[in-house]
Structure 1
Amino acid sequence: MLVCLAAPARADIFMAADFTLIAGEDSGSYELTAAVPETLAQDAALAWPEGCRQTGMTRQSAAGRAHFAYAFACDRALAPGDVVQTPWKVDGGRFAASVGGIATDRSLAADANGIAVPIGEAGGEARTLIQLAREYLAQGVRHIWLGWDHLAFVLCLALLARGRELLWLVSAFTIGHSVSLALAFFELVRLPIPPVEAAIALSIAFMAREALLVGRGAQPFAWGRQLTVVTLFGLLHGLGFATALEELGVRPGEQVASLVFFNLGVEVGQVVFVGAILATLAGLRVIRWEVPARVAALYAVGAIGCFWMIERLAGFASA
């Protein structure tokens, strides 16, 4: 009798939303994605923080949820108090972000107006010069040590010259890639990446051939020519470094410091690598294996450079 008189019970389903913030391709640009239950996903405007504006929006539906992607840009760095007010009457949500090396993952509470997404937490507090130096020096070292094509080129330089001549060649390469890194990072120069990567591979094969010819006496060490060629190839490699720096999501206001420390990190990693090569050659010289090891290394590096060039050209053509 009590069962018959009782009002029907309703299963209380928790209606949640998921928000994700990532950095855009351009400085000061971001993308906020929102996954909301389809039944609550009315198209309504979001309230953006002061200094930020929406630049685009797309919507897709899948598995009973609406997926929104909002592109927006800010003319200043994100501040800790910045929030985006969303209109969806959900019960709660989750916010995840990774911008400028700062990761955020937390739950969100809702109120009568919807959910306020704290995008400012992804911006974090203004970082000190020491914090920027620590982060971007490490990123620069990491990039040069994981950039096999850049290391292969530096290896060719270390096997081409010695002493003061090697110092000048490495300095010319440093100047070249430092200039193009700055120009590309500040978007003063913009070139498509696939042909640049193919040209970088070609530069490795070319320098391996130069080192082989000079080493066997078939070609004299033309000081002015080598210096010019290495500088020009350094400009190419700098464009590749700029791509890696852009992918780190540098915040507005930190561009100059991040560029300087990232470039210094690249140089530190490069100097350590050259030192390791010279030490290895000195050890091989003691046991009289320097010449055959040098020739074998140059043939191997040249072949790899040719393979990379063909591979990248094929990928460029298919794209």
Structure 2
Amino acid sequence: MLRWLLLLLAFVAAPAQADVFRVGDYAIQPGMEPGSFDLSASIPSVLASNHPLGLPEGCRETARERLNEATVTRYAISIDCDRAITAEDAIITPWAVDGGTFLSTATGTRVQQALQPTGDTLSLPIGAVAARQRALPEIAVEYTWQGIIHILGGWDHLAFVLCLCLLARGRYLLALVTTFTIGHSLSLALAFFDIVKVPVPPVEAVIALSIAFMAREAIRARAEDMADPHRRRRQLAVVAGFGLLHGLGFATVLRELGVAPDERLSGLLFFNGGVELGQLIFVGCVLGVMKLAAIFDRDQWVRQAALYGAGIVGCFWMIERVAGFTLGTA
């Protein structure tokens, strides 16, 4: 049974995505003719469609170009308006992104801000003459939620935490998760403020490697070995190092959200808090599943299946990512 499960995991790993966070980049500027505007949009290709924009009254779309580039689709859209743009005017985009950055010079003033969707649409405030100043509670809710979304949609980060949950229990599990948290919180802050700059593709490859490594560590772990203080110190050091790498991945996502300059510190703190909250939710779910499996005397089977599955997927992601950036630089 376990053999067939492993074969199934190896088969389904190919279409799996390590990170499902989808961000769009939008910009609008005046066109060559009076009353005309040029809108550019870059979105994940999986969300691309030719659905029309929701335009302000008196405006119409006159041309659209679409360019597909691997995982990103770029649009260049021409818009004509028979009246002046007002502060209330907005364009409604039809692509279901998780968030977006928007740069507008439509009113003659450069305005850049981060935007959040409403349902499956995103509203671009083309008439804004300044980025809206937001209250701290609004910032807290937004970035905490984004942190939760990211960690619960980041399969590579969850796979690593899963291995930690299946490696240890009790106080030692708390120590491992806390060490991982400290590591990725530190590197998240350093990378977000550009104190540390590391190329993303190699980091993503090593993150995948960390999953395979911790899965192997948990599979080989024996009760008598886990009581060894020297072994515990080594594992804590390894988890701290991998935590630093995972934090660099979190920083990439936070940058893509286009955090406003005056929200950088608060955005970082609440985003990191959301990541930790989502991580705690996941740990609780894993422990709950293992308790349930133990009732039916299937906890060891579930543990082995999950660890072998995580290890296989981690190896696949590592090979995929190494091949991706190696071929990309060849």
Shorter chain as denominator, the TM-score bin is 0.5 to 0.7
Alignment-derived partner of residue 265 in structure 2: 256
User: Does the alignment pair 1:168 with 2:182?
Assistant: no
Check whether the contact 1:23–1:31 (CA below 8 A) recurs between aligned residues.
no
Alignment-derived partner of residue 318 in structure 1: 327
Alignment-derived partner of residue 275 in structure 1: 284
Out of 226, 232, 251, which is 2:235 matched to?
226
TM-score, normalising length: structure 1: 0.67
Correspondences of 1:95-110 after superposition (within 5 Å): 96=91, 98=102, 99-101=113-115, 104-105=123-124
Larger Rg: 1
CA distance in 1: counterparts of 2:225 and 2:216, whole angstroms? 11
User: Does the alignment pair 1:201 with 2:204?
Assistant: no
- 1:48-74: CA deviations, max 9, x gaps? xxxxxxxxxxxxxxxx98x9xxxxxxx
SS at match of 1:127: coil
CA distance in 2: counterparts of 1:219 and 1:161, whole angstroms? 8
Amino acid at match of 1:165: Y
Check whether the contact 2:162–2:283 (CA below 8 A) recurs between aligned residues.
yes
Sort the Cα spacing of 1:90 and 1:300 in 2 relative to 1 into closer, same or farther, 3 A: closer
Check whether the contact 1:23–1:249 (CA below 8 A) recurs between aligned residues.
no
Sort the Cα spacing of 1:207 and 1:160 in 2 relative to 1 into closer, same or farther, 3 A: same
Correspondences of 1:1-319 after superposition (within 5 Å): 32-37=28-33, 91-92=82-83, 96=91, 98=102, 99-101=113-115, 104-105=123-124, 118-120=127-129, 123-124=131-132, 126-215=133-222, 222-319=231-328
Structure 1: 4+ residue segments shifted above 3 A: 30-38, 89-98, 102-106, 215-221
CA distance in 2: counterparts of 1:291 and 1:90, whole angstroms? 66
CA distance in 1: counterparts of 2:225 and 2:177, whole angstroms? 23
Check whether the contact 1:160–1:215 (CA below 8 A) recurs between aligned residues.
no
Amino acid at match of 1:257: S
Greater mean deviation of Cα atoms: 255-264 or 91-100: 91-100
Aligned residues: 239
Sort the Cα spacing of 1:290 and 1:193 in 2 relative to 1 into closer, same or farther, 3 A: same
- 1:94-120: CA deviations, max 9, x gaps? 6648431266547xxxxxxxxxx7442
Sort the Cα spacing of 1:105 and 1:304 in 2 relative to 1 into closer, same or farther, 3 A: closer
Check whether the contact 2:226–2:232 (CA below 8 A) recurs between aligned residues.
no
CA distance in 1: counterparts of 2:195 and 2:124, whole angstroms? 36
SS at match of 1:188: coil
TM-fit CA distance, 1:295: 0.7
TM-fit CA distance, 1:317: 1.1
Check whether the contact 1:201–1:308 (CA below 8 A) recurs between aligned residues.
yes
Amino acid at match of 1:173: F
Unaligned runs of at least 5 residues, structure 1: 1-21, 25-29, 42-63, 68-88, 107-116
TM-fit CA distance, 1:92: 3.8
TM-fit CA distance, 1:34: 3.8
Aligned residues with identical type, % of pairs: 50
CA distance in 2: counterparts of 1:165 and 1:216, whole angstroms? 12
Unaligned runs of at least 5 residues, structure 2: 1-22, 38-61, 66-79, 92-100, 103-112, 117-121
CA distance in 1: counterparts of 2:305 and 2:223, whole angstroms? 13
Amino acid at match of 2:29: T
Alignment-derived partner of residue 44 in structure 2: none
